[in-house]
Structure 1
Amino acid sequence: MDQRRPPEYTLEVFADPACVKDIIKGILHTIFFHRYFTPISPLTRDLLDTTLPAIDDVDLETLIEARASALVRSLESPSTTAAPTTTTNNTNNRSASPAVNAGGGGGGAAAAAPAMAKSSSPASTSPAAHLAYGQHHHHHQRQLGYGVGVAPLGGPQRGSTGAGGRGQLCVQFFEKRRRKSYFSFGKGEDEVCWESWTIDVTLANPRTDADRVKVRRAMEKSLQKCALKILNIVNRDKDHIPPITTPDSNPFPYHILVNPRTEGWGQRIGIF
């Protein structure tokens, strides 16, 4: 069982410079919402006519902001080869109030709850709106807006090419296992990856008003597709989630890597 390769899921994101950071943050929050097995206070965020879930946790929000910013910098400078950036969380995260169990994907106490859309949200024309909540029915929610619209008519600043750049972000979830050893000095814990999410980002640089309209529609479709894919995965794939041994703190450390392929990130999750 220890040799089994952890599930790897890929999400494809298409965005322009004006929206790319908020789209990345929205997708990361949606993933963590379903993989953060601790009591939380849930939020909602509206982005490109889609309502997405978020977690009211200062530490996690800071990490997501930093990783999204790092990826955006790499996208804006495609000719610059930067070392991959890793963010690791091994500490217990604070619990917000009121407490709501947000363990998704079948691993937490809320796994048996039916899939429900949030009950208090503005009308949306998006088919994916309100769906990213999956199995969670929260009774207390706050709503935050990204305030992101289509790129200005003057056009975003372009990089070295009109097609923009490409980047990648990887989120890995680990469980702690006691290291097996015949010697007392060798005892300890190992982190074993049980799930990995890869976000492939393509940056578009529209040069005309007509192109910006097309890019806007493509971004909306891309975001909706990602939200629905995350929802389908967490509702479908549950058996690989490790046992949860404590309800008071997040039991699973996580790593966030920016452009990990340049370093052979497969070694970090034990598949090579």
Structure 2
Amino acid sequence: MQQVLDRLQTKDVLRAVLHSILFHRLFGTVKPRTFEVLDVTMPGVDDSEITQRVEEKVDAFWRGVEGGANKRGQILVTFSEKKTRRTWFLSGEEEVPWEQWIINAEIRQPSDRERQKFEANLAATLTKSLQTMLVHSSSEKGRSVVPLITDASSISPFPIKITVKVGGVEVA
């Protein structure tokens, strides 16, 4: 997903997009919530741990682009499954990714004259992103990549990793 964001709405947009991805890919009991961004209603997850994780990653992205010359970055959301790994000498678990969402974001500061068109384009991009999430997660292909769910005791039976990169460098 490619997002060109206004400085003023960067955090709101990224927060909503991350929550929407998680909403469509968490398989435990999810309490829904919504995010309104530029008249686009996006689904989210009403869970304190998820909210805190999203906030940390959005803040890391913001610090990364605000602190440097590069105003482009990525947020990667990777879903994995734990598989037992056995070799001749070792045994243990490893995380094997089964799906990754990549959010490419660029921060711009539109002029007052450009703002209306800029916001309309961003709203259209958000709508298209949401549609992509819906179509993928409900399609046969999107459902077939999900591993067998063996533990339904938490909000996510699979490890989730959210990585922030600015200028190709991971930001903590």
The TM-score normalised by the length of structure 2 is 0.90
What is the letter of the counterpart of residue 196 of structure 1?
Answer: Q
Counterpart Cα distance in 1 of 2:166 and 2:78 = 11
Match of 1:16 in 2: 6
Unaligned runs of 5+ in 2: none
Counterpart mapping for 1:197-216 below 5 A: 197-207=101-111, 209-216=112-119
Q: Give 3-state SS (helix, strand or coil) of 1:18's partner.
A: helix
Q: Secondary structure at the match of 2:2?
A: strand
The structure number with the bigger radius of gyration is 1
1:50 corresponds, among 40, 64, 68, to: 40
Deviations 1:219-270 (A, max 9, x none): 1111111111111111222211110002212210011111177359xxxxxx
Aligned mates of 1:28, 1:180 — CA distance in 2: 34
Q: Structure 1 or 2: larger strand share?
A: 2
Equivalent position of 1:251 in the other structure = 157
Please provide the CA RMSD for this pair: 1.7
Which residue among 40, 44, 49 is the counterpart of 1:59? 49
User: What is the CA–CA distance in structure 1 between the aligned matches of 2:131 and 2:10, rounded to whole Å?
Assistant: 19
Q: 1 or 2, which has the higher helix percentage? A: 2
TM-score, normalised by the number of residues in structure 1? 0.58
**Aligned match of 1:174:** 80
**Structure 1 counterpart of 2:153, which letter?**
D
Contiguous gaps of at least 5 residues in structure 1: 1-10, 81-164, 265-272
Which SS does the other structure have where 1:245 is aligned? coil
**Percent same amino acid at aligned positions?**
33
Question: Distance between the aligned counterparts of 2:117 and 2:79, measured in 1?
Answer: 35
Structure 1 pair 78–214 and aligned structure 2 pair: CA distance change class (3 A):
farther
In structure 2, what is the equivalent of residue 221 of structure 1?
A: 124
Letter in 1 for 2:84: R
In the TM superposition, what are the counterparts of 1:58-207 in structure 2 within 5 Å? 58-79=48-69, 165-183=71-89, 186-207=90-111
